């Protein structure tokens, strides 16, 4: 019950407008996470809390610490702060500098899918977020 209420609240926070093309994004649920997907460009948005749900501890802490100075062309769809190139584990994302949510542009999802195709079975457990993205 509590979980259901929490999901409703999280749904109410969406939809957001796509930072690339301004389309209203659809709300999706997978692996306990609620996130947004743009039907136009294939980009995905996850709030920081949702990234945590589908990441290992190492991956999600890397989100805040491993930020490249390079700014990204996107503004955060949640709070409009500028995004920068950031990493969640070995997945390149556009991370919001204020709310720490992540925008995954379609090429970044494709990059994660390519990388995942080279993993051995034993490499997968340490890469929860990367595996999540590879299955998007």
* Closer CB to Zn ion, 45 or 127, in the complex: 45
- Write out the residues near Zn ion by the rule CB under 5 A: 18, 20-21, 38, 40-41, 43, 76, 78-79, 81, 96, 98-99
Q: Closest approach of Cβ 77 to Zn ion, in Å?
A: 8
How far, in Å, CA of 95 to CA of 46, rounded? 10
For the record, the structure tokens of 42 come out as 């294939």
* Closer CB to Zn ion, 99 or 119, in the complex: 99
Q: Closest approach of Cβ 131 to Zn ion, in Å?
A: 23
* Closer CB to Zn ion, 99 or 115, in the complex: 99
Q: Closest approach of Cβ 27 to Zn ion, in Å?
A: 14
Nearest one of 129, 95, 94 to 112, comparing CA atoms: 129
Backbone angles phi, psi at 52, to 5 degrees: -60, -35
Measured torsion, CA atoms of residues 37, 38, 44, 45, in degrees rounded to the nearest 10: -80
Cβ–Cβ contacts within 10 Å for residue 14, how many? 18
* Closer CB to Zn ion, 16 or 62, in the complex: 16
């Amino acid at each position: 019950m509590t979980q259901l209420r929490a999901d409703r609240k999280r749904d109410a926070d969406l939809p957001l407008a796509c930072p690339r093309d301004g389309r209203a994004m659809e709300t999706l649920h997978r692996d306990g996470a609620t996130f947004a997907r743009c039907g136009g460009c294939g980009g995905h948005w996850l709030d920081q809390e949702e990234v945590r749900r589908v990441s290992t501890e190492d991956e999600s802490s890397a989100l805040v610490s491993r930020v490249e100075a390079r700014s990204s062309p996107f503004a955060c769809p949640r709070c409009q702060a500028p995004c920068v190139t950031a990493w969640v584990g070995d997945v390149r994302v556009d991370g919001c500098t204020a709310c720490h949510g992540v925008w995954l542009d379609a090429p970044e999802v494709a990059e994660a899918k390519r990388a995942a195709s080279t993993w051995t079975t034993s490499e997968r457990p340490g890469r929860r977020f990367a595996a999540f993205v590879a299955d998007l």
